[in-house]
A and B are shown apart, each in its own frame.
Chain A
Amino acid sequence: MSRPARLARGALVAAAVTLGTAALSRLPYDAAPGDDALLRLSWRARGEQVRECRRLSAAELEAQPVHMRRTEVCEARSLPYHLRVRLDGRAVLDDTLYAGGARGDRPIYVFREVPLPAGAHRLQVEFVRRDGEQPPARNAGVGAAADAAAVPRHADATPARLALDTVLRLDADQIVLLTYDADRRALVARGAAAPPPAP
């Protein structure tokens, strides 16, 4: 191969690799194929807290170091909530949500996504506290001398029951956020167009 031909080929290959790199740097990606819209449920709920105390037995106290011997240990936890979502009369979510954190004393974080076709939809949401239920990981081991008591409510505690029954009209690719408005103490839909007029 002559030198000019080699140089020309070299330049051509280099240009092709560079252009290939540049092209791969901007590939189109269809992140939401189809004409669907999305209903997103996202809020933070700090529900009723229950404090459980129990007295330690003599043997348990003996097992503790002297400076850590307390006759009573208490743990607080938030009560779970039940989330039920119906879309056009059909149940799309039915779930019990527990408080976060290893001790179950963190807030409940609701974060769910429901894809749905564009158009008008009737949405019914219920978020109800389950007063009698223990979190699954904490059912056992509370102790024979357990003594449960409700902790005084915080001012910003989530109500025992939240509900929303509305009609949403969504365009293609639109996201509607269903969230909890702490000022109104109610569930609200954001990003949605006004519901269509009643027939």
Chain B
Amino acid sequence: MNGARRGVQGAARRALVWADAGMNRLYGWRHNPIYHSGALATALLLVLIVTGIYLLIFYRIGSPYASMARIDAQVWAGRWIRTLHRYAADAALLAAAVHALRMFAQNKSWGPRVLAWVSGLFLVFFFFVCGWTGYVLVWDTQALVLARAGARLLDVLPLFSEPLGRTFVGERPLPDAFFFINLFLHAALPIGVGLLLWMHVARVARPALLPPRALTRGVTGLLLAASVLWPVGLAPEAELFRLPAVAPYDFFYAFWLPAAAAVPVGAVWAAFAATVLGLLLVPRLTRPRAAVPAPSVVDERACTGCEQCYHDCPYEAISMVPRSDQRTTLVARVDPALCVSCGICAGSCAPMVVGPPGRSGRAQLEGVRARLAERRPGPRDVVLIGCTRAAAREVDEAAPSLRGAVIRHPVSCVGSLHTAVIEQYLRAGAAGVLVVSCPERDCWNREGAKWARQRMAGEREAELKERVDRRRVHLVYAAEAEGAALRAELDAFRRRLAVLGLASAADDVDLRALCDRAEAAG
């Protein structure tokens, strides 16, 4: 079971890494649509609401097909708006599926992320039901096929004394109430989607609900162009006394239809139940069997109450609470139930008093000292501090010739890197420090890459000190599978360092004491 899970997850991860690298090459990491898949689904939901309002104005529950035909006859508006509504619904579901696959592949569904995973599943389910009701509203052959398929599934449940399937046999006219209920659900479910979306992002700070404008415009523009150039058109009207020989169907919302029609209803429900159960169990199945990384802890005696870790935590796991001693400032406190042990608080804390055990700023400096005791960098050596999930690992693996000149310093996330570590390496005589980060939108810990950039640029607290020679420090974004790009960056960086001349060691400074003094003065 565990092996199968790892196999599936590994395959998904490899596919994702490959796709990410391809999209980064084409659109750059800022506009990689896979990175923004979740936000794209939200943006497309807005497109659906806007186009849906237009359609709602012209739709008549008393004459559903005729009103849809009238909308379709509006060549300058109705036809492409209806098509855009359809395409946006398809694209939203596709984006949501990619987002879910991404979270699964990156193992981001367990622990404090369970709420986001489960609410995400409900979001997709709501999307499905909403799409289903939308197709039935048109009342063409596709609608009849879907309506009968739905009735067939529901009629085996002990919910209705009268079989729903009898509604569509022509024994009596189809009641307006049927279309009213569908329209009500179709319009009301998006409200539920909104509530679920709020729940989906409730446990993250500063959720990115919308993608960059350029990407939103690009995606919407493409769908709009497709709507104008290739409108969906209307299938023939539903006929209750004729079998719909060939009906169009939307793969995204009815992919299950051909298979479901060929097997007994019980098998359909069993497959559905197994799928739902499997998806709900993903957080449990993907939870690491080994020891889960310990949550961050705060040394309350040394905490200055600056609130920077509170602001930087991407999961709102840190709160500022009154102290138990006589001091009037607040003190940071970590909620272990919300902490995912990303370590970003360690990078945010100038006095180095917060972070996961063994990964706080102080622990990081001690680690550097131990490394330096083993091997001091030469004046031409570059220290490569890289996120273990970025491409940093590939440099060593793919370019053995560089090993002699590159010292690797892996970190769990560049956002957890204390800038004093960079300074320490330079003071030890390294020619330069290359910090390798995942692209900002691909950060496994949401905001680690962004905070690292700002700290290194001196724009965020716990910044890289001004005394550090910026020419010898370089930040590069390279996702997994972008080793070639990273090697090119490394070569260019080494050439720039060569121009600067040999570095010299200046490690007679106790950085920890320096930081403490600076904090006390601040």
Contact = CB atoms under 8 A, between A and B. Distances in A.
Contacts of B166: 42, 44, 109, 111
A6 B26 contact: yes
A25 B85 CA distance: 12
A173 B243 contact: yes
A18 B222 contact: yes
Nearest to B94: A21
B126 to A, nearest CB: 20
Contacts of A191: 170, 241
Contacts of B417: none
Contact of A28 (B27, B169, B170, B248): B248
Contacts of B245: 30-32, 173
A152 B244 CA distance: 45
Interface string A116-149: 0000000000000000000000000000000000
B27 A100 contact: no
A9 B251 CA distance: 27
A14 interface: yes
Interface in B254-291: 254, 257-258, 261
A40 interface: yes
B327 interface: no
A34 to B, nearest CB: 9
A126 to B, nearest CB: 20
B11 to A, nearest CB: 21
A26 B241 contact: no
A9 B257 contact: no
Interface in B230-250: 230, 232, 240-250
Contact of B171 (A18, A21, A176, A177): A177
B340 interface: no
Contacts of B254: 29
Interface in B120-142: 141-142
B243 A31 contact: yes
Contacts of B155: 111
B223 interface: yes
Q: Which residue, A21, A42, A107, has most C-beta atoms of chain B within 10 A?
A: A21
Contacts of B165: 111
Contacts of B222: 14-15, 18
A28 B246 contact: yes
Interface residues of A, number: 41
A105 B284 CA distance: 46
B171 A43 contact: yes
A25 B252 contact: yes
Nearest to B261: A31
Interface in A1-52: 1, 6, 9-10, 13-15, 18-19, 21-22, 24-32, 36-38, 40, 42-44
A175 B242 contact: yes
B12 interface: no
Contact of A109 (B27, B145, B162, B248): B162
B226 interface: yes
B25 interface: yes
Q: Which residue, B162, B218, B252, has most C-beta atoms of chain A within 10 A?
A: B162
Contacts of B252: 21, 24-25
A197 interface: no
Interface string B73-117: 000000000000011001100100000000000000000000000
B169 A10 contact: no
B243 A21 contact: no
B161 interface: yes
A109 B250 contact: no
Q: Which 6 A-B pairs have the closest CB atoms?
A: A32-B243, A191-B241, A100-B161, A24-B251, A29-B249, A10-B26
Interface of B: 25-27, 86-87, 90-91, 94, 141-142, 145, 155, 161-163, 165-166, 169-171, 218, 222-223, 225-226, 230, 232, 240-252, 254, 257-258, 261
13 contacts: A6-B26, A21-B226, A25-B251, A28-B249, A29-B254, A31-B245, A31-B247, A42-B169, A44-B162, A100-B161, A173-B242, A174-B243, A177-B169
